[in-house]
Chains A and B, each alone.
Chain A
Amino acid sequence: MYNKKGGFSMPAFFKKTEFITIVIFLIMLSVVAAMQGNFFKLSTLQNTIISWTPLILLTMGQSIVIISGGLDMSSGNALSFMLCILSATMHEENPMSGWIALLLCIIAMIGIGLINGLAVGFFKLPPIIATFATSYMWLGAALFIMPSPGGECVNWMRAFFKFSSVDNMPKMLKYIGGIVPTGVFLIILACLIWYVVSRTKLGRYIYAVGSNRNIAYDNGVKTAKIQIIAYLLNSLFVMFAALFMVGQNQSGSARIGDPLTLKCIASAVVAGVALTGGRGNVFVSIVGAAIISLVSKLIFFSNISSDYQTVVSGLILLIAVASSSIINAVKSAWAKREVYSDE
């Protein structure tokens, strides 16, 4: 992104994988907008953002974990688990139960992050298997709390969905809530948290550990600690998504999160986060999540027979993932050429 003198130079930015992600997003967005017609209407935009929010939050957390050299196969089920805790603990007529639910949810969030982080960072288990195993723990716990969908939500907790849904909100906030869903603020909060983290040693070391755990360790980085913190950040962002969803649905379900797991991994990969670790941009991963969300919209509006919808959405996904890989392959081949070109 920088030229030799350190200043910003556009051509270098064009070569970045992130740039391709944004271009793909803009193309898909304009196609969908053209098809849908009323895409930019306020209510449509609101609904779009509401439906995207959980995936965006999960993708941001997932990206942090992948950059730190891990992977989280359990984030979808962790979402279900937290959702079930929240909705099973709350009673609509008792506002105090909301605080208890929130406290329990925070405890679960820390527990989930610690268990995943310890398994991968401290016990050095392969992330894909370790978190796959824990995903069943979260699913089992969620089913134990809530065998069938149900539960309630206290009125004030709906502030995590829309300020306007809460009865005695100040007028100003109610007005804002009528326009902007709280999901936007949650995403901004997640962005702020990552911005602060990425500007500290912690952020630098997350990339270092993902780049090469052994070399990072030799350089004095406490690799286990860093990986545990990465999983904790992930589980914090999953909690944001759970709070948002409980406000939205006013109920919980043990099965609601699972489909999001692989979607959020795919979103991260589409956004150029390398599964090998150490590479990627958490902010751009938001765009990746948007691309994956747009795929189903695209299918819906393109009048493809429902018989083929799943096949086509898989195909589009494959192309989206491939595009960033192809760009990377071409880039590295080009770099190799430059290095050896003087022969």
Chain B
Amino acid sequence: MAVIFEAKHIVKKFNGVPALSDGNLLCHSGRITGLLGANGSGKSTISKCITGVYHKNSGTMTYMGREVDFKSPMEAKRAGIAMAFQNLSLLPELTVWQNIVMGFETRKGLFLDDKDAKATAKRILDEFVPEFDYHRTVEELSPSEMQIVEIVKAISQQPKMLILDEPTAALEQSEVKSLFKYMRLLAQRGVGMVFTSHRMWEVMEICDDVIVFKNGQVVGSIDFDKEEKNADTIIQMITGEKKIVSVPRIYKSIPEDYFMKIENLNYNKILHNITMNIKKGEIVGIGGLSGQGQEELLLAIAGNYADIKSDINVNGQKERLNSPNKAIEKGILLIPGDRQRQGLMMDKSIYENVILPKVALKKEPFIIPKKRYMEECIETNQILSINSDSIACFVSGLSGGNAQKVVMGKWLHVDMSLLILSDPAKGVDVGAKKDMYDFVKKLVDERGISVLLYASANEELIDNCDRVLVMHEGRIVGELKGKEITDETLVELSMKGSLTRREARDNV
């Protein structure tokens, strides 16, 4: 098979930190190459470097025998390299067919040739998902339909190379099947494809060869024509060798004293039949591949979804947690993952951020007791050693680790029963990360609170949790306790979650 694209030794740094240190990729005409790796391993970064979303720091890219470096996705698309983005590139108010031809509208005389545009949209849609109503606006579509339109849009200009960045994440099972059927059709026509997915069975089914990324490097590749398809070998390659675990939490049995019991929690199409318990004084981890509903589960428990369907028992009493205020009154406190958008008011002082949750509590006085709050805030500042001159300085000027401490500081003087941490170490340096987890563990030991922790890095779960629940596609697929929690078991469970679910489906 002819090579149409080759990337060699691509390096991409963000603020001096390499996200991709040695990216290599080979794309053949008519072949589907799987791009695998954990989150942050660099597989998305290389895709975006190829299509001109990011600009590489060094390395070479050769396309059809010529060296290329695209400045924008449009330039790449004109040259014949199209990408279907995971965070879609569709305009919500425009119709499906208008989106599909966006940027490539044909003219007939003075006016746009809408007939031609509709014909193009219909031709591709019919091959892929027949009977698709392309006169609707994109905002009227379901998430999976949007993903389909995104893929069709990428295909519309007949690319020679097609990059699909986790296209199946938002798709239904049957839609994945028709996508694969269509991908095989495209492969027959000589289109080279790069396919990213976290679901092992999909990779096994559709890919001709795979390239595995880890920590910004290619750690291996397997050609299925020459070597046998073995999911375990690939999983091993993705996780790499065993890691040295720093200070694991000493496992001790916790009395059967439940703080919270959740039965059959459902939310839209994101969470399905979640049933779980949290004991008092327990640190429960939520693991799995990213985007399997973990963050939504935490938000749901923290009362962020008004129309949630669930039976939640807090301290033996049935509660409907449908507003954050209700959750806070019960001592359920959330430290959100995206602190810049969800956790902090960046252009306000530390003081204003720290007192905010108190102001909203019913039992606090109506007129703000400024002196008392000031004292509490200064105390918080000392306890957490938020490294700053005064509590009047703006949060926007703090480092990531210190900003995260402010988010935690908000809750220190509020009654706390359950602390929910959503990927708290994201963008936090190593020292601050250790401080933060030590502090959380101290809180658990001293105050007897419970903690629910979601972390995208498995080490954090291994080091800090008494128990880990692994999620896949909005369901809890497994549970690990104490010493069972290791990198291998976590990855195995989250990857095999997809394998077993698939087998279960096929047996139906």
Chain A positions near chain B (C-beta within 8 angstroms): 2, 4, 6, 196, 199-201, 203-204, 207-208, 210-212, 215-216, 218-221, 277-279, 335, 339-340, 343
Contact = CB atoms under 8 A, between A and B. Distances in A.
B90 interface: yes
B185 interface: no
Contact of A219 (B103, B131, B142, B268): B103
A218 B89 contact: yes
Given A200-B111, A218-B73, A343 B93 contact: no
27 contacts: A2-B135, A4-B133, A4-B135, A6-B118, A196-B110, A196-B111, A200-B110, A204-B98, A204-B112, A207-B91, A208-B94, A208-B102, A210-B93, A211-B91, A211-B94, A212-B91, A212-B92, A219-B74, A219-B89, A219-B102, A220-B72, A220-B74, A220-B103, A221-B102, A221-B103, A343-B268, A343-B269
Interface residues of B, number: 26
Contacts of B133: 4
A343 B267 CA distance: 10
Interface in B108-141: 110-112, 118, 131, 133, 135, 140
Contacts, number: 68
Residue of B92, B93, B142, B266 with most chain A CB atoms under a 10 A cut-off: B93
Contacts of A219: 74, 89, 91, 102-103
Contacts of B94: 204, 207-208, 211, 278
A113 B365 CA distance: 53
B257 interface: no
B429 interface: no
Contacts of B91: 207-208, 211-212, 215-216, 219, 278
A199 B269 contact: no
Residue of A6, A215, A277 with most chain B CB atoms under a 10 A cut-off: A215
Interface string B87-109: 00111111000100011010100
A208 B268 CA distance: 29
Contacts of B90: 215
B105 A211 contact: no
A53 B225 CA distance: 73
Contact of B269 (A196, A211, A220, A340): A340
Given A196-B110, A278-B94, 14 more contacts: A2-B135, A4-B135, A199-B112, A200-B111, A203-B112, A204-B105, A207-B94, A211-B91, A211-B93, A219-B103, A220-B102, A279-B93, A339-B142, A340-B268
Given A196-B110, A201-B105, A219-B74, A211 B140 contact: no
A6 B111 contact: no
A93 B107 CA distance: 50
Nearest to B101: A204
Nearest to B85: A218
A80 to B, nearest CB: 33
Contacts of B102: 208, 219-221
Given A219-B103, A220-B103, A343 B266 contact: yes
B277 to A, nearest CB: 25
Contacts of A203: 112
Contacts of B142: 339
A278 B93 contact: yes
Contact of B89 (A201, A215, A279): A215
Given A200-B111, A220-B72, A6 B93 contact: no
B93 A207 contact: yes
A199 B117 CA distance: 13
Contacts of A2: 135
B132 to A, nearest CB: 9
Nearest to A342: B269
A199 B111 contact: yes
Contacts of B107: 200-201
Contacts of A339: 142
Contact of A335 (B105, B135, B140, B269): B140
A2 B131 CA distance: 14
List 10 A-B pairs, minimum CB-CB distance, nearest first.
A278-B93, A220-B74, A199-B111, A211-B93, A220-B103, A211-B91, A2-B135, A219-B103, A219-B102, A339-B142
Contacts of B110: 196, 199-200
A215 B94 CA distance: 12
A207 to B, nearest CB: 6
Given A278-B91, A278-B93, A200 B112 contact: yes
Nearest to B117: A204
A15 to B, nearest CB: 11
Contacts of A208: 91, 94, 102
Contacts of A6: 118, 135
B173 to A, nearest CB: 14
Interface string B248-283: 000000000000000000101100000000000000
A201 B108 CA distance: 11
Residue of B72, B103, B118, B140 with most chain A CB atoms under a 10 A cut-off: B103
A211 B266 CA distance: 32
A216 B93 CA distance: 12
Contacts of B269: 340, 343
Contacts of A210: 93
Contacts of B98: 204
Nearest to B98: A204
A208 B102 CA distance: 9
Contacts of B131: 4
Contacts of B118: 6
